[in-house]
Amino acid sequence: MSKQVDVVVAGGGGFIGGHLVGDLLAQGLTVRSIDIKPRHEWYQVHPDAENVVDDLSLLERARAGVRDAGQVYMLAADMGGMGFIENNKAACMLSVLTSTHMLRAAHEAGVERYFYSSSACVYAAGKQTDPNVTALREEDAYPAQPEDGYGWEKLFSERMCRHYAEDYGFVTRVARYHNVYGPHGTWTGGREKAPAAVCRKVAQAVLSGDHRIEIWGDGEQSRSFMYIDDCLHGSQMIMRGDSGEPVNLGSSELVTINQLVDMVERIAGVRCERSHRLDAPQGVRGRNSDNTLIREIHGWEPSVALLDGLEKTYAWVYDQVKRSQQ
């Protein structure tokens, strides 16, 4: 790469972005990390990166962000778990400004490769009504019936990548992430997803001695969860690869939320008394990743066992909970 900055990571103050910046720096690349949050709120700040606080939803700021960049990973979005996306549909859809302006600016700047982080939330709701769900294949995104708000933004923005590739020959890569978890992610505040939320609730139970926890829904809804290491490996592999088609990047280890709680309890060495809040946000009833396409194209799929990833995540969340109580 001959540009002044090898890689720009948009959303570098967030969970996946923070890990990605660290990984790229470890490979000896120069990195510009950009996020709208004030720096003290970034999940990780890597001193060796060029760390920029900016609003990439503005076209001029997006242009400044991608100047002299070889590659762009576009991870910036106003998002969270079900508790956030179900109650903030307009805010989620406004990320379309960031997605649009970053793509346009990157193309204008002659960026060599552009990665867009899409989501399993693009998949049609009608195909996710059963906890024993048939794993989702890439073609299941159409006819379009994505998650309201957030899913529509992702589907529109990934399609815009396709048309930039078709109309202008711009090299775009799109991964559909399935629920990603790990240390240094959102674990409290309302945007956290199920793995971090469950780790926090169990850690709070352990630390307080009050072993009652609340679970959203009956707990029989199912998901697969991808550990951050697999996400980093897969994202960079897809960026380097030859295919511009959206591809699933997710684990195929399907569990119910009750099984997820069982695992965290096992790791923590505690049994909790669960109450099920049936009016809480639940999203689709079942969701899993069909990994046929990623295996075909790349000969690889995410492989970190949920129990192994949760062990590391629980240890980190436990420390955060403990620290927050001191």
Q: Which does 257 bind (CB under 5 to 8 A by kind): ligand NAD, ligand GDD, none?
A: ligand GDD
Report helix, strand or coil for 185. Answer: coil
For 110, half-sphere exposure in the C-beta direction (CA atoms, 13 angstrom radius) is 6
- Residues between 86 and 125 with contacts to ligand NAD, criterion CB under 6 A: 98, 117, 119
- Find out whether 9 and 17 touch, Cβ atoms under 8 Å: yes
Choose between 34 and 213: whose C-beta lies nearer to ligand NAD: 34
Catalytic residue among 150, 164, 314, 318: 150
What is the rounded CA–CA span in Å between residue 146 and residue 9? Answer: 26
Q: Which does 227 bind (CB under 5 to 8 A by kind): ligand GDD, ligand NAD, none?
A: none
Query: Which stretch, 71-79, 126-134, 294-302, 306-314, contacts ligand NAD (CB under 6 A)?
Result: 71-79
Helices (H) and strands (E) in the chain, counts: 10, 13
DSSP 133: P
Choose between 51 and 221: whose C-beta lies nearer to ligand GDD: 221
Q: Is 36 a binder of ligand NAD (CB under 6 A)?
A: yes
- Find out whether 256 and 249 touch, Cβ atoms under 8 Å: no
> Which regions of 14-85 does DSSP assign to beta strands (E)?
31-35, 50-53, 69-74
Q: Find the binder of ligand NAD among 49, 52, 66, 75 (CB under 6 A).
A: 75
What is the rounded CA–CA span in Å between residue 32 and residue 73? Answer: 10
Query: In this structure, how many other beta carbons lie within 10 angstroms of the beta carbon of residue 323?
Result: 8
Query: Which stretch, 25-33, 38-46, 138-146, 176-184, contacts ligand GDD (CB under 6 A)?
Result: 176-184
Q: For this structure, is 150 an active site residue?
A: yes
CB of 181 to ligand GDD, least distance (A): 8
List interacting residues with ligand NAD (CB under 6 A). Answer: 11, 13-17, 34-37, 55-57, 75-79, 98, 117, 119, 177, 179-180, 186, 193
